[in-house]
Amino acid sequence: MGSDEVTTIDDLKKEISRFVTERDWDRFHRPKDVAMALSIEAGELMELYLWDRSPDREDLMDELGDVLFFLVDMSIRENMDLSEAFRRKMEKNDEKYPSSLVRGRDDKYTAYMGGR
Ligand SMILES: [Mg+2]
């Protein structure tokens, strides 16, 4: 059993809150700044693949950890339930991308949804 199978989002929230609070960084982790940090870390993740590079596995783990940190931190700062946000969006995705229409296609959804 991998760690993902036993670690909850609440566990991650508690660990991030401990880390930030121990450093007295709560005052710096405003939603705007956390959103920016999340985007920057996503950029660092993309950079690993730039110019068809094959990312080093350790670097990839680091950037995934960074992205997850700020994603979960964002949900802390905005007091949102991340699982609920995910489930709600997945319901919308199921509606927006019905498998009967999109299976095997990678074009933009407006191509088959009449510009919706
Ligand atoms: Mg990083």
The model's pLDDT over 41-91, given as tens digits with 9 standing for 90+, comes to 999 999 999 999 999 999 999 999 999 999 999 999 999 999 999 999 999
Alpha carbon of 49 to ligand 1 centroid (Å):
14
Q: Is residue 92 located within the same domain as residue 61?
A: no
Q: Is residue 61 located within the same domain as residue 28?
A: yes
| Number of independent structural domains in the chain | 2
Cβ–Cβ under 8 Å, residues 82 and 75: yes
9 Cβ partners below 8 Å, 6+ apart? Answer: 72, 75, 82, 83
Q: Is residue 25 located within the same domain as residue 73?
A: yes
How does 14-39 read in b/e, with b if 16+ C-beta sit within 10 Å? eebeeebeeeeeeeebeeeebbebbe
Q: Is residue 76 located within the same domain as residue 86?
A: no
Alpha carbon of 107 to ligand 1 centroid (Å):
30
pLDDT at res. 115: 54
Alpha carbon of 106 to ligand 1 centroid (Å):
29
Task: Give the residue numbers spanning the domain of 106.
Answer: 82-116
Q: CATH number for the domain including 58?
A: 1.10.287.1080
Q: Which of 68, 4, 19 is nearest to 41 (CA)?
A: 68
Q: Is residue 42 located within the same domain as residue 88?
A: no
